[in-house]
Amino acid sequence: MTDLPDYRPRIPAQPARVGLVGAGAIARSAHLPAYAAWRIPVVGIASRTAGHARALAADFGIATVHETVDDLLADPDIDVVDIATGPAGRLDLIEAAVRSGKHVLAQKPLSVDAAELPRLRAVLASARERGLRVAVNQNARWAPAWRLATLLVRSGAVGEVVGVTHLHDKPLPPLAGTAFDDVPHMLIADYLVHWIDITRCWLEGAHVVSVTAQDSRVPAQPDAARNPWHAGIQIGTSTGASASLRIVGDARTQSGGCPFWIHGTEGTLRGSVLLGSDFLELERGDARTRFPLEGQWFTDGFAGAMGELLTAVAEDREPENAAEHVLATVELGLAAVASADAGGVPVHPIDLVLTRASDGKASTT
């Protein structure tokens, strides 16, 4: 291939001004370093813990620390609200930001509760009526190997997708004793959301007909680790294409990563992300092409997610990571959790279509 698709984050020449809600570890380690590196202006911050907000503001040159989220939402100098908080209360924050006339980037997972989806859709409809953009921080979409793979799949580089496979060949992050370990089926409900989301991007155009998920404890897993360390998800679609996502456990390796394969009717993409394993190659016919990659998921992916929202605002269109597009990811995740909760019984979603994100046409049905 002679023309390599532009897979790097896009930032408009004059980006809208960002206000950050939340001052936790992810804001310090990912959001703000990414925004600083890509010159995304963060002009205000608010947090439940004012001291954390002041510390972040001092370290990253943020001009204004607001005492409350309401104060931040009332700030006329802020155009976009970056909600970098946990799932609890996230919908309330999205709704308040929309009511205040702000565009929104919401942390993932967008929702973990099926009961709140009708209200979420109503909030998104209200935002659309007001010309506001609500996007989701699905930052892994801009991990270099995954982003380039998405663009190549959309260009027809492998023909029609036949199957997607992911293997988690790396140690798990620390889970025992953390709040994440209190989340039922945590690996499926939270950790694998990025893998679910990128997989749906590669299966665009298909109806999901079945979702099957299992999790289980593994040999020598510490008693203190309450959540299972093995998890697997299988997705079947109306086209016959399928997907498999597998975490074998807390893999003992110093040279691992997260390899993936996208098999198509005319070729194969194979690659990996994380732990410095990043690569992507296309095999088609007698030719095999390995693409040079720049950047890393952490932290360029965070610039990609915010940059896409800022670019969409500047171009007056829906972002690729629009919340309405990500709703299909939410429904896939909820189906996987329901399957795991039932001991691996397949779940058959109704009218779950993996539509393509494109210029104002993002939708899940």
For the chain, what percent of residues have pLDDT higher than 70? 97
Same domain, 264 and 153: yes
Q: What is the mean pLDDT of residues 12-21?
A: 98
pLDDT, residue 360, reads: 40
Q: Which residue has the tokens 């990609």?
A: 304
The answer on pLDDT for 54 being more than 50 is: yes
**Same domain assignment for residues 134 and 148:** no
Same-domain check for residues 162 and 104: no
Judgement on whether residues 244 and 123 belong to the same structural domain of the protein: no
Q: What is the DSSP letter of 140?
A: G
> Is the per-residue pLDDT at 365 higher than 50?
no
Q: Per-residue pLDDT for 358 more than 70?
A: no
* Collapsed DSSP state (helix, strand, coil) of residue 201: helix
> Is 288 within a domain?
yes
Instruction: Clarify whether residues 251 and 154 are in a common domain.
Output: yes
292-318 pLDDT, tens digit per residue, is 999 999 999 999 999 999 999 999 999
What is the domain-level CATH number for residue 203? 3.30.360.10
Residue where a domain terminates, one of 91, 108, 139:
139
pLDDT for the residue 362: 37
Last residue of a domain, one of 139, 163, 181: 139
Q: Are 171 and 252 in contact (CB under 8 A)?
A: yes
The per-residue pLDDT for range 214-268, each reduced to its tens digit, is 999 999 999 999 999 999 999 999 999 999 999 999 999 989 999 999 999 999 9
**Averaged pLDDT score across all residues of the chain:** 95
Q: Is 8 inside a domain boundary?
A: no
Residue 349 in any domain: the answer is no
33 within a domain of the structure (yes/no)? yes
CATH number for the domain including 47? 3.40.50.720
Structure confidence by residue, pLDDT tens digits, 161-206: 999 999 999 999 999 999 999 999 999 999 999 999 999 999 999 9
Nearest to 84 by CA among 140, 147, 30: 30
187 and 332 both lie in a single domain = yes
Question: Which pTM value belongs to this model?
Answer: 0.96
Q: Is residue 65, in this structure, part of any structural domain at all?
A: yes
Domain count, the chain: 2
Write down the pLDDT at residue 357: 84
Cα separation, 213 vs 93, in Å, equals 31
The range of the structural domain enclosing residue 100 comes to 18-139
Tell me if 169 is assigned to some domain.
Answer: yes
In a domain, 231, yes or no: yes
